[in-house]
A and B are shown apart, each in its own frame.
Chain A
Amino acid sequence: MKMRAVITVIGQDQVGICAKVSTICAEHNVNITAVSQNIFDDLFCMVMLVETDKLDINFGEFSELLKEEGKTMGLDIRAMHEDIFNSMHRI
């Protein structure tokens, strides 16, 4: 079974968010399968569904990397295993 994770990006809309996040994914062999984005309460929100089974570093390091990159752009970026969302929102 494919290991899937959800990347969430929340913050001020700006040029290059998608590019930055997808570059990090590509660099570490992470495949993006779906992207959805919207503006809620003036905040840019993006959710990416990704496959991480071929990830070349461990998942903790990958999410730390995204988090650090997010900080440089003033964004909150998180990567979490999709099961936490599935278990919370689906019966």
Chain B
Amino acid sequence: MLELRDVLETVQMIENENLDIRTITMGISLLDCCDSDIKKSCDKVYEKIVRKAENLVSTGEKIEKKYGIPIINKRVSVTPIAMILAASGGDPLLYAKTLERAVNTIGVNFLGGYSALVQKGFGPGDEALIRSIPEALDITDHVCSSVNIGSTKTGINMDAVKLMGEIVKQSAEVTAYKNCIGPAKLVVFCNAPEDNPFMAGAFHGAGEPDCVINVGVSGPGVVRSAVAKIPDANITEIAEMVKRTAFKITRVGQLVANEAADRLDVPFGIVDLSLAPTPAVGDSVAQVLEEMGLEQCGGAGTTACLALLNDAVKKGGVMASSHVGGLSGAFIPVSEDAGMISAARSGCLKLEKLEAMTAVCSVGLDMIVIPGDTTPAVISAIIADEAAIGMVNSKTTAVRVIPAIGKKVGEELEFGGLLGSGPVMPVNTASPEKFISRGGRIPAPLQSLKN
């Protein structure tokens, strides 16, 4: 018989501490949809997504009922559309419209993969796709876009960095009438993972199987409350507690992943061991750090606490799952995390500190609202800095900043839902124009001679 306390602990996690499965993401390869006629290609893309994912939402709902655990999002990731566009040519926006139509048919929350991988240079289709991103994110509601501009093995494509600064800015401008939502659906990556289930950066990599189920768990609220239960513990004990909690959270993720894979008759890919916050009170990564003993997230000690948290989450999670992948680590999206929002509002959390934090946790500068008059060159330079951290440290980093058109530091931008809201944060405006306009590539870093 199960222990009464164990049963109650699980119920408590779900009921009061916001434990949930953040996403079941079905990865679908579109490589077999390539056609030299873009109309035929779009038809095949639509048909394949709908065929593979038609039962994804209803299956997710059945699993939710069976185990009594909320599954917040059901999503689809597809082969980077730039690869399909390379074969078909034509107007990339036709693909954006096709993807949106497929989303509306199957009822998923988001679809990722309006993407291009240009870490070493632009292939056929890449540049056209990237230039279409601002309009694609304006005319669709559920399609997410990502561009990989660097990696540890290839270095950083500075031509792409320059272009992406402009694209992020344009994307905000064309969606200014709907709270600049465009760039909230656009991620610029270094070392992008091919099996990431989280938006907006999900895409289905070329090395992936035809169709696969990846699951992302959540649970900052559970970790925070576990840490709160041991107020006088030393740091070793806190790390142990986080590890044990992460294990439990991840086991649920694995259970749901197996069940979803079985029911949909699709292979299980990975569980992404991420702590993904939501704007809900208590479900915050910043508050976990504060629970460890910081007055407010962003102050001195933040990077150390985050490093501990990130590492302990992975250690606990790895043992709980048969395959781990994706981004796996603590997320620090400012506008999606109540603790980060208040730290940014009070001025305790600054962009520079966030950059330091990204060196020790998953992803990067995420959901950060910056002044609307920030120049494309400054955005490009922020992307370059963040990519450099990822490139040198062999980890994924990303930039998802939102220029709030017409707004200045101190004002707020509201997205609603999981994307939350955020204060406009100050950005260093010293001009990197010359550096960014040079173009070329930053060579791949040395990975040996580590003495």
Contact = CB atoms under 8 A, between A and B. Distances in A.
Nearest to A6: B7
Nearest to B3: A89
A85 B68 contact: no
Contacts of A59: 65-66
B252 interface: yes
B4 A45 contact: yes
Give the secondary structure class of B's interface: helix
Given A34-B1, A49-B1, A79-B68, A85 B10 contact: yes
A47 B9 CA distance: 12
Contacts of B6: 85, 88-89
Nearest to B66: A81
Contacts of A37: 4
Nearest to B69: A84
B4 A38 contact: yes
Give the secondary structure class of A's interface: strand
Interface residues of B, number: 23
Contacts of A47: 2, 4, 7-8
Contacts of A38: 4
A80 B68 contact: yes
A30 B227 CA distance: 39
B68 A88 contact: no
Interface in B230-253: 248, 251-252
A22 interface: no
Interface in B1-30: 1-11, 15
Contacts, number: 72
Interface in B67-87: 67-69
A47 B11 CA distance: 11
Interface in B249-292: 251-252, 254-255
Contacts of A85: 2, 6-7, 10
A60 B65 contact: yes
Given A87-B255, A88-B251, A63 B65 contact: yes
Contacts of A89: 2-3, 6, 9-10, 248
Nearest to A5: B66
A37 to B, nearest CB: 8
B39 interface: no
A44 B294 CA distance: 36
A83 B67 contact: yes
B273 to A, nearest CB: 15
A34 B9 CA distance: 19
A79 B62 CA distance: 14
A69 interface: no
Contacts of B252: 84, 87-88
Contacts of A14: none
Contacts of B4: 36-38, 45, 47
Given A81-B67, A83-B67, A84-B68, A36 B11 contact: no
Contacts of B5: 40
A81 B15 CA distance: 16
Given A80-B68, A81-B66, A83-B67, A8 B11 contact: yes
B224 to A, nearest CB: 18
Nearest to A47: B7
A78 B11 contact: yes
A17 to B, nearest CB: 15
B251 A87 contact: yes
Contact of B10 (A60, A63, A76, A88): A88
Contacts of A60: 62, 65-66
Contacts of A34: 1
Listed from nearest, the 3 A-B pairs whose CB atoms lie closest are A60-B65, A80-B68, A89-B6
Given A59-B66, A80-B67, 5 more contacts: A8-B8, A60-B66, A84-B67, A87-B254, A88-B252
Interface of B: 1-11, 15, 62, 65-69, 248, 251-252, 254-255
